[in-house]
Amino acid sequence: MSQTDQPVFDLANGYELRPWCLDDAKVLADSCQDADVQHWNRPGRLSLDDARDRIVRWEKRWRTDKAAIWAIAEPGGGSPVGLIGLADFDLDGGSAEFLYWLLPAGRGRGAMVDAIVRVSRWALEDLGLHRLRITHSVANAASCRVAEKAGFALEGTMRSALLHSDGWHDEHLHARVQGDAWPW
Ligand SMILES: CC(C)(COP(=O)(O)OP(=O)(O)OC[C@H]1O[C@@H](n2cnc3c(N)ncnc32)[C@H](O)[C@@H]1OP(=O)(O)O)[C@@H](O)C(=O)NCCC(=O)NCCS
């Protein structure tokens, strides 16, 4: 990863995955105002400066093999409608974990399933990772369906694993490993 620029991927539904840039800082800061993103992803409150710092940090994390974070946006410099990324990279151990969210403008058209499959193909086939994880609160039915549709088998439930604003939630663990069938 550190030797190459972060790739740009076209998605089937008209969006592309591209690295975040400083011009996206306002969208990133505003995304924290979305009630669903705030509840499920727990990004905290970000000022414009915080958002800029975070985007700079993501670029460093790509360069240091720690994470790969993309904006989901209309091609040609469109404003982001979501985020997808892999974090908790363990290149030696061959694993990483997804994080993702969509703003309301990006929801309802299958963009996240498509994005997860695209990033998974890159991580497993090009980067050579062995196992990718998705975890989400058991109460987040949309995220659970997205994980299933992207071909991430449900492996179990981790009890009281994630602290949300309304208390501790049990969490589903989904994963895809090398050799699992692709949904398309
Ligand atoms: C979770 C999220 C990425 C899903 O993306 P989306 O664009 O809303 O999902 P889609 O409309 O493409 O739907 C994908 C599937 O989930 C189902 N789904 C969507 N919302 C649902 C809900 N609230 N409850 C149950 N299923 C739901 C859809 O019906 C579809 O399944 P189907 O094809 O079998 O009918 C998006 O809603 C989101 O970012 N939400 C807020 C933050 C969040 O939850 N982040 C994830 C933290 S783990």
69 forms beta bridges with: 85
Q: Where are the domains of the chain?
A: 9-132
Please report the pLDDT score of residue 103 as a whole number.
98
Q: Answer whether 0.85 is exceeded by the pTM.
A: yes
Instruction: Report how far Cα 154 is from the mean position of its chain's Cα atoms.
Output: 18
pLDDT band at 1 (very low <50, low <70, confident <90, very high): confident
Helix or strand (DSSP H, E) at 43: none
Angle at the Cα of 86 from the Cα atoms of 28 and 143, rounded to 5 degrees: 75
Over the stretch 72-85, which tens digit does the pLDDT of each residue have?
999 998 999 999 99
3-class state of residue 179 by DSSP? coil
- Residue 172: φ, ψ to 5°: -80, 140
Question: Which DSSP state fits 8?
Answer: -
Buried b (16+ CB within 10 A) or exposed e, 76-113: eeeebbbbbbbeebeeeebbbbbbbbbbeebeeeebbb
Work out the average pLDDT over 110-114: 97
Question: Which DSSP state fits 173?
Answer: E
Over the stretch 10-42, which tens digit does the pLDDT of each residue have?
999 899 999 999 999 999 999 999 999 999 999
CB 133 within 8 A of CB 96: yes
Over the stretch 36-65, which tens digit does the pLDDT of each residue have?
999 999 999 999 999 999 999 999 999 999
Q: Residue 31: CB within 6 Å of ligand 1?
A: no
Pocket test residue of 146, 162, 169, 174 for ligand 1, highest count of atoms within 8 A of CB: 146
CB 57 within 8 A of CB 68: no
Over the stretch 117-129, which tens digit does the pLDDT of each residue have?
999 999 999 999 9
Pocket test residue of 143, 148, 169 for ligand 1, highest count of atoms within 8 A of CB: 143
CATH class name, domain 9-132: alpha beta
Q: Residue 136: CB within 6 Å of ligand 1?
A: yes
How many angstroms does the Cα of residue 111 sit away from the middle of ligand 1? 10
